[in-house]
Amino acid sequence: MLPGGHSTQVGESIHADQFLYGKFEATDVLPDLDACGGHFGFTPDSPNHSVYHYHVQDKPPFTFGCYGPNTDGTMVTLAECRALHDECGNGDETSLTVGASDILPYTLGQTVAYDPWCPCYDLNGSNVGNVKLAFEAAGGSSTASPTPAPTETEQQTLSEGSGSALHLATATLAIAGVVGAVVA
């Protein structure tokens, strides 16, 4: 984590200028993410204006769920994500048994429902559940983060720390073991 509190960049999306960061938006502050795992806010790579970016999560999808924002520049709700993906809710739901006890939010031997081709996850990390995402449940704006603009000192700190990115392939390899353990 950078001194300003925002996690460092750990990957990038297939879309130009959209990056994946560690899990914190500010020191010990988890962001309210949309169905794709992204939101609007300031980053080490964009300390002066709010941009759509993604964060690593403790629950599925762990990194990118889908690619946002919506074409109108708003965050992606669970219903919007599922409406865009015909593979969500098409009858191929299955059950998986968790094979590792240290994979949160699951416990060893727990059976979870899973839709193998749906990239849209609810607040509990389920791609078949319907628990509204935090930004939806709060009724907040879906176009901008409530995070205030960083101070001049924070902007300098963010800019100085922006060179520590890993490529998505590296981040994916590191996370693949976690995902594999969940579905094993």
Taking only the tens place, the pLDDT of each residue in 124-141 is: 889 999 999 999 987 754
Percent helix, strand and coil across the chain, each rounded to 5?
Answer: 20, 20, 60
pLDDT tens for each residue of 35-65? 999 999 999 888 888 999 999 998 888 888 8
Residues 2-43 have pLDDT tens digits of 556 889 999 988 877 789 999 999 888 889 999 999 999 999
pLDDT digits (tens, 9 = 90+) for 142-183: 555 444 444 454 444 444 443 333 233 323 333 333 333 333
pLDDT at 104 (0 to 100): 62
Domain boundaries along the sequence of the chain = 9-85+131-175
Whether the upstream peptide bond of residue 146 has omega within 30° of 0, thus cis, is no
Q: Whose CA is closest to 23, among 47, 46, 57? A: 57
Report how far apart, in Å, the C-alpha atoms of 87 and of each of 13, 35, 98, 117, 142 are. 21, 15, 23, 6, 25
Predicted local distance difference test score (pLDDT) of residue 1: 52
pLDDT at 108: 81
Q: What is the pTM of this model?
A: 0.70
